[in-house]
């Protein structure tokens, strides 16, 4: 990720499914844009309950989820795993909801 100045947590290893990469490319958008939004606490297109759970996860270390709608109308998810025994988040995955 190029700009981490607003990051509220570390992303760990960043991976994406082929379907998500294809959808983002077809929309003419940048994967880095969505990773930056996720890391800064902009959870995208989530309901109030999921936003509240993410805000709590910033404190308790549980899993984080963001959802964004691409220009093409396709939704992507970004999931950052819970903090492990080492106190770090190990991975962030970008995927389509039906790939979960």
Kindly state whether residue 79 falls inside one of the protein's structural domains.
yes
What is this structure's pTM? 0.93
- Closest among 79, 58, 59 to 68, alpha carbons compared: 79
In this structure, the chain runs to a length of 100
Yes or no: say if 38 and 71 are a contact pair by the CB < 8 Å rule.
no
The tens digit of pLDDT for each residue in 19-48 reads 999 999 999 999 999 999 999 999 999 999
C-alpha dihedral (41, 47, 48, 54), degrees to nearest 10: -40
Q: How far apart are CA 8 and CA 11, in angstroms?
A: 10
Structural domain span for residue 56: 18-99
Work out the percent of the chain whose per-residue pLDDT is above 70. 95
When divided into structural domains, the chain yields a total of 1
Kindly state whether residue 25 falls inside one of the protein's structural domains.
yes
CA angle 46, 95, 43 (to 5 degrees): 25
Kindly state whether residue 13 falls inside one of the protein's structural domains.
no
């Amino acid at each position: 990720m190029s700009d981490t100045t607003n990051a509220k947590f570390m992303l760990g290893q960043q991976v994406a499914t082929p379907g998500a990469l294809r959808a983002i490319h077809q929309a003419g958008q940048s994967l880095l844009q969505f990773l930056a939004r996720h890391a800064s606490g902009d959870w995208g297109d989530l309901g109030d309950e999921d936003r509240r759970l993410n805000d709590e996860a910033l404190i308790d270390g549980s899993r984080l989820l963001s959802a964004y709608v691409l220009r093409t109308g396709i939704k992507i998810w970004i999931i950052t795993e819970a903090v492990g025994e080492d106190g770090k988040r190990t991975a962030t995955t970008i995927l389509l909801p039906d790939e979960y």
